Amino acid sequence: MSTDPTLQTESLTKDYGDGLGLHGLDLVVHPGELVMLVGPNGAGKSTFLGLCAGLIEPSEGNAWVGGTAIGTVEARARTSYLPDSPVLYDDLSVNEHIEYVARMHGTEDWEDYGDELLELFQLTSRADDLPGTFSRGLRQKAGLILGLVRPFSLLLIDEPFAGLDAPAQLTLVDVLAELVEQGAAVVCSTHQFDLVPVATRCVGLRDGELSYDGDVSEDVIRDLVGG
């Protein structure tokens, strides 16, 4: 497994002009790391993920995915980003979504892998349905499948457990653990305790600044969220 950073940020800053955002964050994430990104509301977690995904323009500083600047075609090709609210087309079925995303990103054997993901998240029976008819939990499952069916070296996920039923939450934990074992780097914004046993590291943000970077435990998460 490569020891070169999958994600590296240097003085990464987003100034919204109201004190919120991100302020000079330096962070390095290596292959095979599962990082829990933790902090209270407004800490800068979603801003950090959006910056690293190349969807938000930084005010200052730099960041790289696999040594390539964020926002470039190469960095985007290496990054899969799952926002807290899945972006789905109401006129495409789940299967059509899977085919569209897989073909766009050159996924090999995408049909078999798509079927496997549908089965894992218990969505096979709804695969030909339009997501406009789905509950929040079903939309979340569909969004996760689309984020996972494409190739990536960096997976950025914003509150993926919200709306999921208990079996799907456990499935997601298992899937993320397998991904990091295979060498992917995962940064997951969540306070979900189920992820603690498989997470390799916890990064805490508060008021847009790094407040913690170290071992992960339930006590650490409680302190970072409410301390």
Residues 14 and 47 sit within 8 Å (Cβ to Cβ):
yes
Q: Which two tokens stand for residue 96?
A: 């059509």
Residue 158, Cβ density class (10 Å: 0-12 exposed, 13-18 middle, ≥19 buried): buried
Q: What is the pLDDT of residue 124?
A: 97
Summarised one tens digit per residue, pLDDT across range 59-73 is 999 999 999 999 999
How many whole angstroms separate alpha carbon 227 and alpha carbon 141?
Answer: 32
The answer as to whether 98 is a domain residue is no
Q: What is the mean pLDDT of the chain?
A: 94
Angle CA 212–218–221, to nearest 5: 35
Q: What is the pLDDT of residue 180?
A: 96
Above pLDDT 70, what percent of the chain? 98
Going by C-alpha positions, the residue among 219, 220, 118, 121 that lies closest to residue 161 is 121
How many whole angstroms separate alpha carbon 102 and alpha carbon 105?
Answer: 5
The answer as to whether 180 is a domain residue is yes
Rounded-to-10 torsion of CA 67, 6, 80, 74? 20
Query: pLDDT grade, residue 1 (50/70/90)?
Result: low
The answer as to whether 204 is a domain residue is yes
How many whole angstroms separate alpha carbon 79 and alpha carbon 155?
Answer: 6
Torsion sign (Cα): 88, 71, 155, 120: positive
Residue 180's domain is classified under what CATH number?
3.40.50.300
The answer as to whether 115 is a domain residue is no
The answer as to whether 123 is a domain residue is no
Query: pLDDT grade, residue 227 (50/70/90)?
Result: low
The answer as to whether 72 is a domain residue is yes
Tell me which residue range forms the domain holding 167: 7-86+151-226
The per-residue DSSP string of 20-63 comes to -EEEEEEEEE-TT-EEEEE--TTSSHHHHHHHHTTSS--SEEEE
The answer as to whether 132 is a domain residue is no
What residue type is 10 in one-letter code? E
Residues 179 and 197 sit within 8 Å (Cβ to Cβ):
no
The answer as to whether 52 is a domain residue is yes
What residue type is 81 in one-letter code? Y
Q: What is the pTM of this model?
A: 0.95
Q: Which residues contact 30 (CB under 8 A, 6 or more apart)?
A: 3, 4, 5, 6, 185
Number of domains in the chain: 1
Q: What is the pLDDT of residue 2?
A: 60
> Long-range contacts for 118-125 (Cβ within 8 Å, ≥24 apart)?
118/94, 118/145, 120/171, 120/175, 121/145, 121/168, 121/171, 122/167, 122/168, 123/94
What average pLDDT does this structure show over 74-79? 95
What average pLDDT does this structure show over 89-111? 93
What average pLDDT does this structure show over 176-198? 96
